Amino acid sequence: MAKSVTSKPAGAVRPNGKRARAQAAQSDAIDAPGVWQRRHLLDLDDFSAAEIELVLDTADAMKEVLAREVPRVPALRGSTIVTLFYEDSTRTRASFELAGKVLGADVINVSAAGSSVKKGESLLDTVRTLQAIGADVLVMRHYASGAPYLAARESGFHVVNGGDGWHAHPTQALLDAYTIRSRLGDVRGRRIVIVGDIAHSRVARSNLWALTALGAEVVVCGPPTLLPFGLDGSCRDDAEEGSLPPVRVEHDLDRAIEGADVVMALRLQRERQQAGLLPSLREYSRLYQVHGERLARARPGAVVMHPGPMNEGIEISADVAHGARSLIEEQVTNGVAVRMAVLYLLLRGTMERGS
């Protein structure tokens, strides 16, 4: 049994993993194409391929709306969306705001700096206050992993996780999957290399769930100090089961990139060097920078992605970041369509029929 599991492609999830368990607990309807049953988007760890594909298909329709001369539809008219960000953000917040507005919703932006949070208001009090104002959706970014779960449990909001600690950033992973699908046709069977600081990356974690669910062959690459323990499934026991899907691990980027369809570079946070996880930034960029020469080892037509913000010259070279193979700007553009799809499905996908 164990043998057959390890010999499966990286996309296969252990049958007793978190995702399988979550799916078994839910009704069959959730796997029926086109059916949406979720109130919140907190993580992708229990998403089926069918659910992810529904988001991506819906995003296709949203992209058509965005391409119009007047990109505005009344789908969410009368709904109010609050973005509550305890951490800085440019693209996530701006794209959620635009997504809500294109769908006809009202959008209120609250940042921790400049709100009552500064006066010592607790997270839950802030959330309850925003709910009392009459908002329907809470898009939340918080430095503490799990904070959106608390908000989802303790409020009547539809909660969307806009990034929590090191844990999850589901809309980023969805827009990455959407961008790959748009460019390469399909995610299934594609070799996708995620390189850099996996351990501290919520983007990487959510991408591992989304991309393996969609049947990609995922390879992660980085120095051992920046990879989460037990990622390759080699030292799993039941206690850790399902903490991340099993993927191939490489420490040598040249080898990892061999035959890749997609190379996804992650931002290196400079504090990691101070924390003693890296000898030097120079050594890191020599070993792990995605640059033109390395990219030549990937498959012809391979593409490069980065969730941003980038440190050009550290994890990615400037010519690759702005080169012909870069999808980095496309990722940002697709982010609006994918977030529209998420907001639409949360608010309109599960409502009871009107009288």
Binding residues for other proteins, rule: CB under 8 A, are: 29, 32-37, 54, 57-58, 60-61, 63-65, 68, 70, 72-75, 103, 344-345, 348-354
What is the token pair recorded at 5?
A: 């599991």
Torsion angle of C-alpha atoms 77, 78, 83, 89, degrees rounded to 10? 20
Residue among 22 and 73 whose Cβ is closer to other proteins: 73
> How many residues are there in the chain?
355
The Cα–Cα gap between 288 and 294 comes to 10
Residue among 77 and 255 whose Cβ is closer to other proteins: 77
SS3 34: coil
Burial class (CB in 10 A: 0-12, 13-18, 19+), 234: exposed
Q: Which residues contact 62 (CB under 8 A, 6 or more apart)?
A: 99, 102, 336, 337, 338, 340, 341, 344
Give me the residues paired with residue 193 across strands: 219, 263
Residue among 103 and 160 whose Cβ is closer to other proteins: 103
Cβ of residue 336: shortest distance to other proteins, in angstroms?
15
Cβ of residue 101: shortest distance to other proteins, in angstroms?
14
Residue among 20 and 65 whose Cβ is closer to other proteins: 65
The Cα–Cα gap between 294 and 14 comes to 32
Contact 59, 88 (CB under 8 A): no
Torsion angle of C-alpha atoms 162, 227, 297, 302, degrees rounded to 10? -20
The Cα–Cα gap between 58 and 206 comes to 20
